[in-house]
Chains A and B, each alone.
Chain A
Amino acid sequence: MITKNGYRRIVIEPVTRVEGHGKVTILLDEAGKVARARLHIVEFRGFERFIEGRPFWEMPVAVQRLCGICPVSHHLCAAKAVDRIVGGEKLTPTAEKVRRLMHYGQFLQSHALHFFHLCSPDLLFGFDSDVANRNVLGVAARYPELAKKGILLRKYGQEVIRVTAGKRIHGTGAIPGGVNKNVNAAEREYLKKDIDQILAWSEESLAIAKQYTVDHLAEIAEFGSFPSNHLAVVRADGAMDLYDGGLRAVDAEGSVIFDHFDDQRYYEAIGEEVRDWSYMKFPFIRSLGMEHGWYRVGPLARVNACDFIDTPKAEAARKEFKGLAGGKPVNVTMAYHWARMIELVHAAEKIALLLDDPDIGGTELLASGRRRREGVGVLEAPRGTLFHHYRVDENDQIAMANLIVSTTSNNEPMNRAVEKVAKDHLSGVEITEGLLNHVEVAIRAYDPCLSCATHALGRMPLVVEVVDAAGCVVDRKARD
């Protein structure tokens, strides 16, 4: 297709083996050189508006419907925000540990899903391998044992979630100020019987991701890569903490931009730019400004930003990982996979520790205190730092909601990765399906969750129509 500006337009639609709906457009000039490449997300849902007026205690179950891959992230992040509304943010040990167990279970399932079910064909078969085999069943046909381990790793994570939240997807474990159940002795034994196997398989997965990165470093070092800032939550002592802590941002060289920033004032640190040419907002670090303040989140950012990991196997892996860049932050986009598998091991180690902790069977489930009208929840979701912010009115109904989901923070980096890969690999050559998959490989490194990110996307022409139609109803565009 030729655009009105004379460019040849190539579209990848839908972007596959990622969560949600996205498409890529690439514009080529007359010489076949890539002039522009962009990742678009093509949905709008409007969560922030339509949850206004709902009772605040619904948030952990309603807002998790943003995402079926990482519902636990939204479930717990919303719960952390509404904990503050009931004054129950200082959780009982049982509540905090059961929530953490749920959270680590979700890291295990989400990271396993991404690595095995979604990405492994690119890494095992090559970026331009036969399209018919580029899926988990193709992997199963060639590497049956490996595929089965991936499926069972995910299954175990889902079972941890089921035990702590009542069901595998969209559960109900966390409530304002705590949890609605503990982990009883039978459930503990059920999960304990497989954890050693899970730990061993997690380490095998880590070894595969590491070996892939080391073996292919020459070709992937520049693939969709660039120096960037990194943002993550860290514990008070600088350890990686996926559930709670302060905000830390470091630059591409590892210098601290801010540290232990109070999550309740996140909006003073982070702004979101709206640009004419894009659908997703563009978060940035306010002190650096719009142009230079963009940053990455997710496994790469977390491993880069923390001082250490508090479980031994993951910590040993982190040290090795940081060796890639001489101890400074690793800015290689494809290194996301290795970092993600370090976290897979960390999650398995944490689950093992919690299953030996008597507190998860405790009976003190709820905390409460002085009521507030506002609360912010921040945690690390599998795909990066997640922010939920709610204000309630005198009837305990939501009066304001603001969500910055993980994938939104990676908007600028993903667009840069798409553009870089397109320019490096598609300019002036005959464009094949396999070459187009290169662009998707760069997007997949970020493990984007496009459904999450679509809570707040829209289109100007639509708004014009809405306003012109006296500010009420848009014409239904579907034709019969």
Chain B
Amino acid sequence: MSARPGERQKPKIATVSLAGCFGCHMSILDIDERILDLAKVVEFSRSPINDLKKFDGRCAVGIVEGGCANEENVEVLREFRRKCDILVSLGDCATMGGIPALRNSIPLSECLETAYLDGPTVVNPLGRIPSDEEIPLLLDKVYPCHEIVKIDLFLPGCPPSAEAIFSALTGILGKSRPDLPYELLKYD
């Protein structure tokens, strides 16, 4: 994936899923065989579909799926803002919080109690709720990305269609305003 000597440096794209379901990443892969064409003109930096765990340089485009539900999401999102020229909120969770934000009207303690103490399959005589310092602290609410950092492009949908994603990406990479007709934008 790295450029050969003499080859002009391709623009880099980084992707990440925060508090999402990976459906937006699946919709990126739904461009099907066009991913091979895309690979000819861009290079992928960190992304859950490769093994780069960190940024390997500045990126032309950062694609963010999911909103922010914990402190780690916030740190990663801020790093994406710092390292990417154009930051895209991909899908309803990134743009609005989405289904995970349904918890915003409920105290977090109730969500945890339901999961660990109350379920019909829970066997927990000591009333334990797991603890470990390795887990990032949850935020009080689930936040859409633009409430944490500046976002340059919003692509709605649950998930946005592969056509919308491809159209947006080719627009950004061609340094033109993405051609996103009304039919491609669905809030579902």
Which residues on A are within 8 Å of B, measured CB to CB?
12-14, 16-21, 23, 25, 38, 40, 42-46, 48-52, 62, 65-69, 71, 113, 117-118, 131-138, 140, 144, 147-148, 151-152, 154-155, 158, 167-170, 266-267, 270-279, 281, 283, 290, 389, 400, 402, 404, 437, 440, 451, 455-463, 466-467, 471-478
- B69 and A45 contacting across the interface, CB-CB below 8 Å: yes
- B136 and A42 contacting across the interface, CB-CB below 8 Å: yes
Residues of B within 8 Å of A466, CB to CB, are 107-109, 112
Residues of A within 8 Å of B25, CB to CB, are 68
Counting chain B CB atoms within 10 Å of each CB, the highest count among A50, A266, A276 belongs to A50
Residues of A within 8 Å of B139, CB to CB, are 474, 476-478
Q: Is B6 an interface residue (CB 8 A)?
A: no
- B21 and A17 contacting across the interface, CB-CB below 8 Å: no
Residues of B within 8 Å of A20, CB to CB, are 17, 22
- B123 and A290 contacting across the interface, CB-CB below 8 Å: yes
Contact of B122 among A144, A272, A275 (CB under 8 A): A272
Counting chain B CB atoms within 10 Å of each CB, the highest count among A21, A40, A290, A477 belongs to A21
Contact of B120 among A52, A267, A475 (CB under 8 A): A267
| Shortest CB distance A332–B (Å) | 24
Q: Is B52 an interface residue (CB 8 A)?
A: yes
| Shortest CB distance A17–B (Å) | 6
Residues of B within 8 Å of A158, CB to CB, are 30
| Shortest CB distance A37–B (Å) | 12
Scan B133-172; emit 1 where CB is below 8 A from any A CB, else 0: 1111111110000001000000000110110000000000
| Shortest CB distance B26–A (Å) | 5
Residues of B within 8 Å of A277, CB to CB, are 130-132
- B111 and A49 contacting across the interface, CB-CB below 8 Å: yes
- B35 and A151 contacting across the interface, CB-CB below 8 Å: yes
In Å, the complex CA distance between A156 and B5 comes to 38
Q: Which 9 A-B pairs have the closest CB atoms?
A: A68-B23, A460-B131, A46-B111, A135-B50, A456-B115, A466-B109, A49-B114, A271-B123, A65-B99
- B135 and A40 contacting across the interface, CB-CB below 8 Å: yes
| Count of interface residues, chain B, beta-carbon cutoff 8 Å | 76
- B158 and A463 contacting across the interface, CB-CB below 8 Å: no
- Given known A46-B112, A152-B32, A170-B159, contact A17–B134 (CB-CB < 8 A): no
- A16 and B48 contacting across the interface, CB-CB below 8 Å: yes
- B131 and A276 contacting across the interface, CB-CB below 8 Å: yes
In Å, the complex CA distance between A134 and B49 comes to 9
- B121 and A267 contacting across the interface, CB-CB below 8 Å: yes
Counting chain B CB atoms within 10 Å of each CB, the highest count among A266, A277, A283 belongs to A277
Instruction: Give how many A-B residue pairs fall within 8 Å (CB-CB).
Output: 267
- Given known A49-B115, A270-B121, A272-B121, contact A168–B30 (CB-CB < 8 A): yes
Q: Is B100 an interface residue (CB 8 A)?
A: yes
- B129 and A404 contacting across the interface, CB-CB below 8 Å: no
Q: Is B19 an interface residue (CB 8 A)?
A: yes
- A16 and B23 contacting across the interface, CB-CB below 8 Å: no
- Given known A50-B111, A462-B138, A478-B74, contact A65–B122 (CB-CB < 8 A): no
Chain B: which residue is nearest A109 at the CB level? B26
Contact of A71 among B23, B32, B33 (CB under 8 A): B23
- A274 and B116 contacting across the interface, CB-CB below 8 Å: yes
- B103 and A49 contacting across the interface, CB-CB below 8 Å: yes
- Given known A46-B114, A158-B30, A277-B130, contact A475–B119 (CB-CB < 8 A): no
| Shortest CB distance B184–A (Å) | 13
Residues of B within 8 Å of A48, CB to CB, are 111, 114-115, 119
Contact of A132 among B1, B23, B35, B148 (CB under 8 A): B1
- Given known A135-B44, A402-B121, contact A68–B22 (CB-CB < 8 A): yes
| Shortest CB distance A478–B (Å) | 4
